[in-house]
Structure 1
Amino acid sequence: MTGPEDFCRRALPEVSRTFALNIPVLPPPLDLVVTVAYLLCRIADTLEDEARGQVSERAELFHMLGRLVKLEPGWEERSAEFARHSVAALRPSAPTAEVQLVQGTPTVLEAMRGLPDWTHPHIAACVVEMTGGMAQMMIELDGGAPQGLPDLRDTLQYCYYVAGTVGVMLTGLFVDGYESVRPRRSELVPRAPAFGRALQLTNILKDIREDLDRGFCWLPRTSMAKHGLTPANLLLPEKRVAAVALLDDLVAVARHECDVAFEYSLILPRSEPGLRLFCLWPLLFAVRTLAVLAHNPAVFEPAPVKIDRETVMRIMVLTRESVADDRALESLYAESARGVPEGRRA
Structure 2
Amino acid sequence: MTHRELDAAGITDPVLRAAYTRCRLLNARHGRTYFLATRLLPADRRPAVHALYGFARWADDIVDDLGADATPTERAAALSRLDEQLRRALTGLRPADEPVVLALADTAARYAIEPAHFTDFMASMRSDLTVTDYATYDDLRAYMHGSAAVIGLQMLPVLGTVTSRARAAPHAAALGVAFQLTNFLRDVGEDLDRGRIYLPADLLAAHGVERALLTWSRRTGRHDPRITAALRAAEDLTRAVYREAEPGLAMLDPAARPCIRTAYVLYRNILDAIADDGYAVLHRRATVSRRRRAIVAADGLARVLAARLAARGAAAHRTSPAPCRNDTHPAKEAG
TM-score band (shorter)? 0.7 to 0.9
Which residue of 1 is the match for residue 186 of structure 2? Answer: 206
Which residue of 2 is the match for residue 268 of structure 1? Answer: 252
1:253 aligned onto 2:237: yes
Amino acid at match of 2:52: A
Task: Select which of 115, 136, 141 maps to 1:156.
Answer: 141
Does 184-193 or 34-43 show the bigger shift? 184-193
Which residue of 2 is the match for residue 30 of structure 1? Answer: 45
Aligned-pair distance for 1:62? 2.8
Q: Distance in 2 between matches of 1:285 and 1:14?
A: 17
Which residue of 1 is the match for residue 129 of structure 2? Answer: 138
Quick check: 2:185–2:281 contact (8 Å CA) kept in 1? no
Q: How does 1:178-193 map to 2 (within 5 A)?
A: 181=161, 183-193=163-173
Which residue of 2 is the match for residue 144 of structure 1? Answer: none
Q: Distance in 2 between matches of 1:192 and 1:18?
A: 18
Which residue of 1 is the match for residue 283 of structure 2? Answer: 302
Quick check: 1:261–1:283 contact (8 Å CA) kept in 2? no
Give the secondary structure class of the aligned counterpart of 2:213: coil
1:168 aligned onto 2:153: yes
Give the secondary structure class of the aligned counterpart of 2:35: helix
1:291 aligned onto 2:282: no
Give the secondary structure class of the aligned counterpart of 1:232: helix
Which residue of 1 is the match for residue 76 of structure 2? Answer: 59
Unaligned runs of 5+ in 1: 81-105, 142-147, 176-180, 327-346
Q: Distance in 1 between matches of 2:185 and 2:37?
A: 22
Deviation string, structure 1 residues 311-333 (Cα, Å, up to 9, x no partner): 1111122233356999xxxxxxx
Task: Select which of 217, 225, 232 maps to 1:241.
Answer: 225
Aligned-pair distance for 1:221? 1.1
Which residue of 2 is the match for residue 109 of structure 1? Answer: 101
Which residue of 2 is the match for residue 315 of structure 1? Answer: 296
Q: Distance in 2 between matches of 1:115 and 1:189?
A: 19
Which residue of 1 is the match for residue 331 of structure 2? Answer: none
Deviation string, structure 1 residues 195-224 (Cα, Å, up to 9, x no partner): 111001011111112222343221111111
Matched residues, percent identical? 21
Quick check: 1:59–1:139 contact (8 Å CA) kept in 2? no
Unaligned runs of 5+ in 2: 4-13, 308-335
Quick check: 1:8–1:39 contact (8 Å CA) kept in 2? yes
1:69 aligned onto 2:53: no
Which residue of 2 is the match for residue 21 of structure 1? Answer: 36
Quick check: 2:120–2:145 contact (8 Å CA) kept in 1? no
Amino acid at match of 1:255: R
Aligned-pair distance for 1:188? 0.4
Aligned residues: 284
Aligned-pair distance for 1:109? 2.9
Task: Provide closer, same or farther for how the CA distance between residues 116 and 59 of structure 1 changes in structure 2, counting only shifts above 3 A.
Answer: closer
Aligned-pair distance for 1:60? 4.0
Deviation string, structure 1 residues 32-58 (Cα, Å, up to 9, x no partner): 111112111111111121236454543
Task: Provide closer, same or farther for how the CA distance between residues 36 and 63 of structure 1 changes in structure 2, counting only shifts above 3 A.
Answer: same
Q: Distance in 2 between matches of 1:7 and 1:185?
A: 29
Task: Select which of 45, 48, 60 maps to 2:63.
Answer: 48
Aligned-pair distance for 1:193? 1.3
Q: What RMSD over aligned residues (CA atoms) do the two structures have, in Å?
A: 2.8
Give the secondary structure class of the aligned counterpart of 2:39: helix
Aligned-pair distance for 1:63? 3.5
TM-score normalised over the length of structure 1: 0.72
Task: Provide closer, same or farther for how the CA distance between residues 289 and 151 of structure 1 changes in structure 2, counting only shifts above 3 A.
Answer: same
1:119 aligned onto 2:111: yes
Aligned-pair distance for 1:309? 0.8
Task: Provide closer, same or farther for how the CA distance between residues 113 and 136 of structure 1 changes in structure 2, counting only shifts above 3 A.
Answer: closer
